[in-house]
Structure 1
């Protein structure tokens, strides 16, 4: 016989999970005790469930393996929702185990609450998990654990949740009597004749194209296929673009890499994708930030071949695939490698040269100069930071402004990793994710880029950073307000309602926060600071925090903007027509495809 909570922890250990991210409470006391008695497990206590879940997210995104979060009940579960939603949207495998009140205190029917801290968390999380279940029979624990972990990591990965009442945690169970889970055939594994024919047709289309492009997404990393992807690129010898989550799949200095397209992408990359005649998209879900908010204008002259493990992504209304292939990115790459021959292909040297010209001329986001020396430009900060980092370093970044600046100006080197939560544009993600990445990688130094409001949501975890002496280099980008002010200036007559420091959107002195948690603190506020001090600061050992005072007039440029019609309808520009606008003749000269007429 074995105590059920001991069985759960041993199961986690057998899944090669070493680190558990947790917040203790009475409803999970048995599980906490079992973790503490297991000499092969490490646990990290967080101040908040939001941070614990996002730390597990960071660990999972770095390792490509399920990470484990242990929570209590009631508010402990609801506090974790943002992290779980992140994992759902970004296809990140997580196993969340929550404590629950006793089985005889769980309400049913119309009674809202019966037990202490009781809440039906399973019904709340079911829409944002691949599997969510409350254990009602102690002898079903093996089945549900095995099923949950199987679903978390197979097909399109994602979070799973097991809710475990406190009285069941302490029960003794007979391992020999436990029913196992028998997994069905793996979805998206391919192998059928129809998929073979589609792959052969995709190869033919790419080989015959005049202007082919390969768009690579994070599904390639989720499939563990990064190296085989690079080998495929060498064999196909065609231009490559990456999605936001796939930005670290290949170094920027690769001769076939031409950038990151999108609504806030690089102008040069947008020219490449908009002028393509065949696009092979592998592992990218072609989100609206990727293709723009005018989907009909996206790659309008191209035959779009979309490879996705999720059949629902292939049928969504914002894309019109010429060919849709439902299989994993890894399976697609492997089978393309098998089917590729050394046969004749069209000469695309002129097309590659054109892509190089675009990259040379239009990649820098602000070619017309930078703010004066007494101000700090965000793009220049990211550029100098990027130049100062070594190959193989790990960068965790918040959503919105920090991620946008990184997508424009960071130049990835060999082996560097980008850990982000781009699906929800989560602005409180970077700090806990950096902690999880650091713990998962046995204490490697992590560079952390925080949005200053989001940083304050999890600033309490600086005590955890200090306690475990996690070598995290935390840069906090203070932009002086919300970036809705960009939209307010462009479309609402410059009325900055609830978006600037004058409206109450203020931040404390970051250096004093550092002192409170016994962390060294630095500040950058001018271009002179940036050029003379940032390279030196980056080389200092972490942990430390650095307050980066971005120029308050900083804008996202280039970007896709809207035309506002007399009837109030907003029409997004196509990806090639970014603001600040090029002269119409210059834009026309850069388009092989016909320009769209204004609607």
Structure 2
């Protein structure tokens, strides 16, 4: 007689094999009661949390930390809908994730009846997440579970990665199946065997030829390199291609700051030197970088305008964005291209004059001030803080940064990664509330290693309930909270464009924040405050030398404007336009600016 098991048992037995994850993040609920029982009896470890959004964010960060597929379970109805922000973040950031939701029994389903709802806490989550997942399926038949689970997990990582979702009714969760009789998923029979093509020999030869003949070549490495599992080969690639290199904000840790040919992360918020370098290149090779609008600037036509733009990515649609001039797009796997370049290339050396220019720009336009420049300030300078934090962190640090406001922007500008660190933020959604649950996910993925996050005081209020998850599990997590009186970004926007008409951004317009010391005390977490620049380094060493969880309040100027950044101007016809990426606020003296340009300036 064939041995049968429950569908929910089968799912939990297969998750590690199919995703690489050994942990499941969840908030318990009746709609997934069989999944709960099965995961509790499985070899997987559950991380229960206090909100489904936080559980989903933690799973996102878990996957990003170790480059696996993060797993989140959610109950039906509100449990599933609460995860949607994290689903969108995984989709925009190309992060593979597996969501498994419980659903009401097929006997009480609204499907096929045209009803909004029939069962208790029933909601059609499948249609809700369809536009932000690579694959979503309502598993109506127990016999389909192997096919659906294998297909979902395959698609999560095949081609451009992203989240997938399986919605499983209660009666299907509880159904008995014989695993030996289940139909498998076969990528080849569904035309999915070549999702990650290798580069042709002709492409590799052409790239090398262009690198050798270019006067001002630049290599840009994006998050796609991480996703392809090629991070460990980057150092070898840079030994072969001895040309200037940059990374994207979503690949902040691919190249260490102290690499002699690393020249930052171009962005609408700078750094200034990085923008000068990318805008003056005459050959631009991008690997796994989608070249979003923050990377190119809002004046997209002016991006790399005198360069041959050679774009390598798995998503051809990214090459056809409006106004972006891509001279050659090649759809191939980032790891395969990097391996081919390493294998095929004798050393390629950029002209000395170009390398000297890049080094000169980096030295002339540093992002962070020195301590002596800010020692007398009444507040902590956020740029100095991130520079100091970068300097004090060890080479194996886990740094899942906050994804909104000052913490997001200044970290992207000023953080200096070291070799072996894992540093990331959820750039696509740039959502408040990511920092604390991201730190939990990273800490779990790192087997309890200390995780460090930096969040804004406004964003800290979202998912603050997960402080109890940290306390309960004694996770070694350090939470630096940038206190700038909350909601700094929208406050500055209202000052610049709406004559200081504050709405929902100040105490007088309805938003106030509690004392962080009282929050720390309520949860039983250690607390300290850093209020001056000369106290930063000493406090950082104290924080990092103690494994216990801690909240560290960093007092910064509420009126501090984040610079450099792209600015806009009014054209003769009254419409607004943006400056090219190299021409950041505060504007340089025009003679100095022109002296930095190989490319014809647009003024």
TM-score, normalised on structure 2? 0.95
Question: In structure 1, what is the Cα distance between the partners aligned to 2:195 and 2:369?
Answer: 43
Q: Could you tell me which residue of structure 1 aligns to residue 429 of structure 2?
A: 424
Task: Work out which of the residue numbers 357, 362, 370 in structure 2 matches 1:359.
Answer: 362
Q: Could you tell me which residue of structure 2 aligns to residue 511 of structure 1?
A: 517
1:131–1:160 contact (8 Å) kept in structure 2: yes
Give the alignment of 1:164-203 within 5 angstroms.
Answer: 164-184=168-188, 185-191=192-198, 195-203=200-208
Deviation at 1:314, TM superposition (A): 2.0
Q: Could you tell me which residue of structure 1 aligns to residue 278 of structure 2?
A: 273
Deviations, residues 10-55 of structure 1 (Å, cap 9, x unaligned): 11133343111111111100010011112x2210111100000000
1:499–1:505 contact (8 Å) kept in structure 2: yes
Question: In structure 2, what is the Cα distance between the partners aligned to 1:144 and 1:346?
Answer: 49
2:252–2:423 contact (8 Å) kept in structure 1: yes
3-state secondary structure, aligned to 1:245: helix
Give the alignment of 1:193-592 within 5 angstroms.
Answer: 195-341=200-346, 348-365=351-368, 369-370=373-374, 372-400=376-404, 401-482=406-487, 483-565=489-571, 567-592=573-598
TM-score, normalised on structure 1? 0.96
Deviation at 1:481, TM superposition (A): 3.1
Question: In structure 2, what is the Cα distance between the partners aligned to 1:364 and 1:566?
Answer: 33
Q: Compared with structure 1, are the counterparts of its residues 176 and 465 closer, same or farther at alpha carbon in structure 2 (3 Å cutoff)?
A: same
Gaps of 5+ in 2: none
1:198–1:323 contact (8 Å) kept in structure 2: no
Corresponding position: 1:76 with 2:76 = no
Question: In structure 1, what is the Cα distance between the partners aligned to 2:223 and 2:349?
Answer: 29
Gaps of 5+ in 1: none
1:188–1:326 contact (8 Å) kept in structure 2: no
3-state secondary structure, aligned to 2:101: strand
2:222–2:290 contact (8 Å) kept in structure 1: yes
Give the alignment of 1:48-63 within 5 angstroms.
Answer: 48-63=51-66
Q: Compared with structure 1, are the counterparts of its residues 346 and 121 closer, same or farther at alpha carbon in structure 2 (3 Å cutoff)?
A: closer
Question: In structure 2, what is the Cα distance between the partners aligned to 1:399 and 1:568?
Answer: 34
Deviation at 1:92, TM superposition (A): 0.6
1:481–1:501 contact (8 Å) kept in structure 2: no
Deviates more, 1:559-568 or 1:507-516: 559-568
Corresponding position: 1:30 with 2:34 = yes
Corresponding position: 1:120 with 2:120 = no
Deviations, residues 443-498 of structure 1 (Å, cap 9, x unaligned): 00010111222211111011110000000001111221321222333333343343
2:217–2:282 contact (8 Å) kept in structure 1: yes
Deviation at 1:328, TM superposition (A): 1.4
Deviations, residues 536-568 of structure 1 (Å, cap 9, x unaligned): 233222311111121111111000010123654
Q: Compared with structure 1, are the counterparts of its residues 437 and 531 closer, same or farther at alpha carbon in structure 2 (3 Å cutoff)?
A: closer
Question: In structure 1, what is the Cα distance between the partners aligned to 2:80 and 2:220?
Answer: 37
2:244–2:350 contact (8 Å) kept in structure 1: no
3-state secondary structure, aligned to 1:261: coil
Deviates more, 1:348-357 or 1:561-570: 561-570
Question: In structure 2, what is the Cα distance between the partners aligned to 1:480 and 1:568?
Answer: 35
3-state secondary structure, aligned to 2:115: coil
Deviation at 1:190, TM superposition (A): 2.9
Deviation at 1:313, TM superposition (A): 1.2
Q: CA RMSD in A?
A: 1.7
2:198–2:337 contact (8 Å) kept in structure 1: no
Deviations, residues 42-76 of structure 1 (Å, cap 9, x unaligned): 10111100000000000000111111111100011
3-state secondary structure, aligned to 1:116: coil
Q: Could you tell me which residue of structure 2 aligns to residue 163 of structure 1?
A: 167
Deviation at 1:318, TM superposition (A): 3.9
Deviation at 1:275, TM superposition (A): 0.5
Deviation at 1:152, TM superposition (A): 0.5
Q: Compared with structure 1, are the counterparts of its residues 522 and 318 closer, same or farther at alpha carbon in structure 2 (3 Å cutoff)?
A: farther
Deviation at 1:366, TM superposition (A): 5.5
1:365–1:558 contact (8 Å) kept in structure 2: no
1:373–1:528 contact (8 Å) kept in structure 2: no
2:407–2:456 contact (8 Å) kept in structure 1: yes
1:155–1:186 contact (8 Å) kept in structure 2: no
